[in-house]
A = this chain, B = another copy of it.
Amino acid sequence: MKRLHEKMEQEGRVLSKHVLKVDSFLNHQIDPQLMKEIGETFAELFQEAGITKILTLESSGIAPSVMTGLVLGVPVVFARKRQSLTMTDDLLTADVYSFTKETTNRITVSKSFLTEDDKVLIIDDFLANGQAALGLINIVKQAGSEIAGIGIVIEKSFQDGRSLLQKEGIRVESLARIHSLQDGQIQFKAEVPQ
């Protein structure tokens, strides 16, 4: 997605060969117009997939998901990283290991919002090791819903998230794929000589 690539090049900051900081438009400050275009792109990619619900993870997945849900005309559910006081319903939970933080977090979704009739598009801001995505997949499976695919805003293609998801037979659509962050530069996957 051209606009996203440009924005990453203009505003992204490469903190290390593993970390790209994009908190001027995605992770802390949000560019609503870019989110709208991201939503339109995801909606186009999955328009024939019969999506009934979008599942994401708080907080950075919410903006692109809501814009996608608006175009597809379906609700968005965000999994919580911490349990809310008013979450008194039966819960679906999954444990997500973070390689960067070296901690395991339990993510939760109320059973009420995912059913056997749902066809779910999972959306997240980043795909790296795929642990968060696998946690969301686990929750969708527990609910008995069907997974239509995963939409990722920024994929770190030098980590093994995509291959883990594809091994599960999941369709993965990433709007930007980073081949490497070596030497403080973003090299996109498409630029890599084939």
Contact = CB atoms under 8 A, between A and B. Distances in A.
Contacts of A74: 32
A85 B62 contact: no
A7 B110 CA distance: 19
A127 B91 CA distance: 26
Residue of A30, A32, A73 most packed against chain B (CB within 10 A): A32
Contacts of A45: none
A67 interface: yes
A179 interface: no
A109 to B, nearest CB: 8
A85 B101 contact: yes
Interface string A112-148: 1100000000000000000000000000000000000
Nearest to A114: B29
A139 B25 CA distance: 20
Contacts of A84: 23, 27-28
Contacts of A69: 30, 32
A186 to B, nearest CB: 15
B35 A66 contact: yes
A33 B71 CA distance: 9
B36 A70 contact: yes
A59 interface: yes
Contact of A63 (B25, B29, B62, B100): B62
Given A24-B113, A110-B23, A113-B24, A30 B85 contact: no
Interface of A: 15, 19, 21, 23-25, 27-33, 35-36, 58-59, 62-63, 65-67, 69-70, 73-78, 80, 84-88, 100-101, 109-110, 112-113
